[in-house]
Amino acid sequence: MKISVITVAYNCEATIADTIDSVAQQSHSDIEYIVIDGASRDRTLSIIEGRPDVVTRWISEPDRGIYDAMNKGLAMATGELIGFLNADDMFAHADVVGSIARAAQKQPDADVVYGDLVYVQQDHPDRIIRYWRSGEFSADRLRFGWMAPHPTLYVRRSKLSAIGPFDASLRIAGDYEFMLRCFGRVGAKAAYVQDTLVRMRAGGVSNRSLRAMVDKSREDLTALRRNRIGGWFSLACKNARKLPQFFLRV
């Protein structure tokens, strides 16, 4: 089973080598690895160009933001399953893609596969600071703020036409809105991999400042209302779900 992994990058010379290395270490043999660079001004592009053994296809050009770049990746991908690995994140172990493929093969009616994620320190990615254990999906849990971690989500390419592209007009919550469409409006069937799939560096665009967190909440609320999942109550539940993640141990 061919699986497409897409990394969207911009000025991330400090971290993208770790991301690429984690793809190179995967045991699954049929990986299409696509990198979409937003015309970086640092050494990001030279790092990408230096790994033709791992990177299947890449482009480097200006874009209209992260979700526009993600849509470019979706358009290029040819795998049966398609997912994203952020340019400052890493697969948690060498069998991540293999476990995703096995889950999809075991449940051929599943439209999406997802798993768990841990947040790690920026400068010490071996130090875990937050655990995101997804749990099994059920449609009624969406109203109570449930959501799978987007960096662990892999969607069947055959389902993308029903889900549609990322909304590039959103700056921070485009991935959340995409998943609400996927799990809510489209009613995708899901397969849950009960394993940590991604190590995500803390301090991303959505939580690097109070202003960013306010903007994220505003866009989250827009996404909830647009997809008729809920409103302020669902947003409050979504934020409250984060608190136990700082104390959970796996």
Q: pLDDT tens digit string along 110-149?
A: 999 999 999 999 999 989 999 999 999 999 999 999 999 9
pLDDT in the model for residue 235: 92
What does the mean pLDDT of the chain come to?
A: 94
140: left (phi over 0), alpha (psi -120 to 50) or beta: alpha
Q: Is the dihedral of CA 100, 106, 109, 114 positive or negative?
A: negative
CA 80 vs. chain centroid, Å, equals 17
Residue 1 has pLDDT above 90, yes or no: yes
Q: Report if pTM > 0.75.
A: yes
Residue 209 has pLDDT above 60, yes or no: no
Residue 205 has pLDDT above 80, yes or no: no
Q: Which of 244, 243, 241 is nearest to 146 (CA)?
A: 241
Domain span holding position 36: 3-246
Give the tens place of pLDDT for each residue, 63-120. Answer: 999 999 999 999 999 999 999 999 999 999 999 999 999 999 999 999 999 999 999 9
pLDDT in the model for residue 170: 94
The domain total for the chain is 1
pLDDT in the model for residue 210: 57
pLDDT in the model for residue 207: 52
How far is Cα 192 from Cα 5, in angstroms, rounded to an integer? 18
Higher pLDDT, 203 or 187: 187
pLDDT in the model for residue 213: 76
CATH of the domain at 31: 3.90.550.10
